[in-house]
Amino acid sequence: MHRLFVGLPVPEPVADVLVDLMEDVPDARWQSVEQLHLTLCFIGEVDRRLGNAVAEGLADVRGGALDLRLGPLGLFAHRGRVHTLFAGVGPKAGLALLSAKVTQAVRAAQAMPEARAFVPHVTIARFGGRGPAEAAMAPVLARAVPAVAWRADELVLYESFMGSGGSHYEAVARWPLH
């Protein structure tokens, strides 16, 4: 089985800005530079046949390159406890449209992607167990995120490998966004 997702890579200058934000948050498990990406569609566990069908469908996704910019920090929480700290990415409309096209291609290949509202972001930290209370994160969320922009010009199918040191990702296929 292969654990797959579709995303946009984060270029090195943007990753450098994100790394500079990774400090002074107790119990944060910071993402490595290699882990930084923007997920458009999480597919999950699929066999090789279905993975190949997904890749074939993604080759037909059309959409031009996107001019993106980092936004403010945000978080995902459950029952008042933070599990993910992220940097927002915009503009949301263009990313949401691309995410919808990718999701449609994944479904057309008969895969069942994760059904979650799309929030364009780059995860920078995760928290295990009982993460910090949402209210305790207010000073972190108030941090200024430098204005940095980039052009996303390729779509990537990633495979995720789980390990004791966290996940690592490998690009399985790439397609230009033109």
d(CA 169, CA 178): 24
* Runs of H (alpha helix) within the chain: 12-20, 48-58, 92-108, 138-141
CB-based contacts of 129, cutoff 8 Å, min separation 6: none
Catalytic pick from 2, 78, 83, 121?
Answer: 121
- State yes or no: is 178 an active-site residue: no
Give the H/E segment covering residue 176.
strand 166-176
- State yes or no: is 121 an active-site residue: yes
Cis peptide before 146 (omega within 30 of 0): no
Enzyme catalytic residues: 37, 121
